[in-house]
Each structure stands twice: as structure tokens, then as C-alpha cells.
A = this chain, B = another copy of it.
Amino acid sequence: MEHKILLKESDIPRQWYNLAADLPTPPLPPLGPDGKPISPDMLAPVFPMNIIEQEVSTERWIDIPEPVLDLLYRWRPAPLRRAVYLEKYLKTPARIYYKDESTSPPGSHKPNTAVAQAYYNKEFGIKRLTTETGAGQWGSALAFACALLGLECKVFMVRISFDQKPFRKFMMETWGANCVASPSTETNAGRNVLQETPDTPGSLGIAISEAVEQAVTDPSGQTRYSLGSVLNHVMLHQTIIGLEAKKQLAAAGEKLPDIIIGCAGGGSNFAGLAFPFTADKINGANIEIIPVEPAACPTMTRAPFAYDHGDTACMTPLLAMHTLGHAFVPPPIHAGGLRYHGMAPLVCQAIVEGLFTPRSYHQTKCYESALTWARTEGTICAPETSHAIAAAIDEAEKAREEGKEKVILFNYSGHGLMDLTGYNAFMTGKLSDYEMPEEEIRKFTKDLERMPKAEMRKSGRW
């Protein structure tokens, strides 16, 4: 048996899959400041029109342009691997497969959408992209994509990560990007936050406000904003993960998996793997699909499904999603990529429908799983990815107890080579668990009552 299931470049999927075409109930539209659905042209100062078209599309399949394929070929198709050593260690009858998204130059799944977004912006005549980054994975990915396409790149990096992870900044600079800590003094949004809370660790919500502000206020009109998760077109670009995995599972002689797992911060790596299989579930396949989040930032498992802004300064449209409130500042846990107050609307709608069964874990359990992984499978995973591994281990142990030969598939969303301070904190006993108290959630979600109601019909099939 081959340990890695590889595809040739000529086997790469040539279309992305759009879950919006198959959701049993239509997604709720984004709303403008007036509480009415926004029109595509209202997004035009923020995104180029070719991306906006993808954002609102309900076509099931969307062609991947040849130049984007040429960019993806630099590291794709990504390997599907079987975790035979972990299986043996766990004495499980389950077969554990994982899609290895850590092989991209920036080290995660993020470049899948970064190169597509940079391409569409360049096609539209844009010269400069702004963005935010939490743990630094997304900022690195966009810096990488912009370097390949010759675009300028400006990254607002959440202060706590900026301080904890200087190497991520060096990485972005190696690819020619400009990276500053957020909140910064470069924008109104940043200056306002700094005035009120000079010592803030920052948040993705604040950094998004800064990046959007700098894009829409560029008088040349040649700057746009780029988002690394949450939005429909980002989920779309990530579906290449699951589409490749399907071909690879078939090549390994497997039918559909019984269980699919991904960690979820904004939702994109989870969606990328899960959405192509969600179509099978909608068509009757028996698959348990599990997005995993930290107990410290429990969006899917404990927050209301409501209309809310994607950023702190309320510059973005209202999105229907599970949200802890746009003013929420999550505690500084080590999985910086899982500290977002909201969640991708497409993921949330599928949760409300009952298609996904989210769960949350504490970070010490996740690091324990990461060490087990490093000492059996041999690789060092990102702190975000450790949430998926923790769930995969739980499911493999359950399969052992049940005596069932289940097929488990999870997304190995990134490596942890830039995140070793977290491992050190765990190994030296310095990490504590934090579970968001109920009153904190109530405090930050209270404002949501003043928003338009997110009322979704359910098909009731799951």
C-alpha cells in the first residue's frame, strides 16, 4: 500500500464546487445598512466585480481559469495520506486519511484562494491588495500570491500574533509585502480602538476594519480588499481540497468516508474539504461532518445564528451566521486562526439545516493530540489543525469501542513550524484552558437583538 495517494497535475479538478447551488434552503442574503439585501455593485469599492459575481453565484460548477491552475500547480495536487502509524498506536479498526494542505509554500490551505483572488484582482486592473491576518497564515498566503503576480500587498496583523510571531512578518516581507500590527495608527478604525483601549491584543474584526478602510479610501481606485475566509467565494476556491480528496479516496479503493472533520475559525479549510461531500450527504449518503472549534471561541456550538457585521467597526454588510458579536475580543489562545467572532454563512446555514455537527475542544487536549501525532505520524501540525486531529483521535477510539471499520477523513490544514512557541508553552505547563463564560457570550451578543432577524426555513431532513 502506498502511504501517500498522489494525483498527477493533469488530474487536478478544473472546476470549483459551489454548495449554494445544492443547499436545501436558499442562503440568507447579506444586508446593507438599511436592513435590505445589498446589490452586487454596493460591494464594488471593496472587491473587483469578477469576484463579486462568484460571491453571489448559485451555479453549481465554476471553471478554474488556466492561469489559476498554473499557480496552483506550484504545490497542487496536494497529497492524501493515510495515518497508518496513528491507527496502529490507537489500535483502531478505523482507516484515517488526511488531506495534507501543509505542502504549500506558506504552509497551509490559504493559498488556494489567495492565488485565485490575486489573479481576479489583477485581471480587473487592481494594483494593490489590503488584508488582515490573525495567526499569519492568511497574510503569508496573500503575500505569496501577490509576489507571484506582481501586486502590492498590505497586511494588518492582529497585535497579539504580531508580537508572538515575528517570523510570520519576516515571511511576508520576504515575499515583498508590507505588514503592520493592528490596531495601527494608519486608519480611523485603528486609531479609534487605540484611543479607547491602547493595550488591546487586537482582533480579526478590528484588522478587517482597517484593511477595508484602506482599500475603499484609496483615491486612485486601484486598491481592493481581500478576505481569507468567511465569504462564499473563499469557500468556493477551497473546494479543490475536497474535490481532489474524492479522486484520491477512490484511487485508494475507498467509497465515501463515514466521518469528515476540519477545524473551523472562519470556516474555509473545513468547507474546502467538506462541501464536495456535503453534496453527497444532501443526496442521501450517510456521512457525519464535524467542524471543530476552540472552547475559548465557541461560535458554532454556543453563539446565536443572527445577522451581524464581519468586522468591529461595522463597515461590512450584515451576514447571517453564528456570531459572538462583532465587538467580541477573543482570549489570546495559541490557535490564532480560530479566534474569529463569526463563521462562514454557508457553513452556518448547513449547521442550522442539521447537515454538520459542530463540536468544541480545549486547547490542552488539542496540544496533547498534536504531540501524539508528532511522535507517531512524525509531523508537527498547526495549533488550528490539532483541533481536527483531536476529533479524529476521538472518532478513531469510538470506532475501536464500537468495533467498526469506519473511514475517517480530516483536513491537515497546515504545519506548525511557525507556531512552536505554543508547543513550548504546552510542554512546559504554561497553557491554561479557557471556556467562554455564559455571561461573556450574553454581553457580546446582546447588541445582535437590534439587528434584523436571521430567519431561516429548514427542510427538516437532517
Contact = CB atoms under 8 A, between A and B. Distances in A.
Interface stretch (A185-193, A212-220, A275-283, A372-380): A372-380
A4 interface: yes
Contacts of A420: 167, 170-171, 174
A424 interface: yes
A424 B170 contact: yes
A137 to B, nearest CB: 12
B427 A174 contact: yes
A10 interface: yes
A91 interface: no
A8 interface: yes
Nearest to A71: B378
A170 B174 CA distance: 24
A174 B418 contact: no
A105 B144 CA distance: 22
Interface in A387-415: none
A173 interface: yes
Interface of A: 2-4, 6, 8-10, 73-74, 85, 103, 105, 107, 144, 147-148, 166-167, 170-171, 173-176, 371, 374-375, 377-380, 417-418, 420-421, 423-424, 427
28 contacts: A2-B9, A3-B73, A3-B74, A4-B73, A6-B6, A6-B8, A74-B377, A85-B148, A103-B103, A144-B378, A147-B374, A148-B375, A167-B417, A167-B420, A167-B421, A170-B420, A170-B421, A170-B423, A170-B424, A171-B380, A171-B417, A173-B424, A173-B427, A174-B371, A174-B420, A174-B427, A175-B375, A176-B375
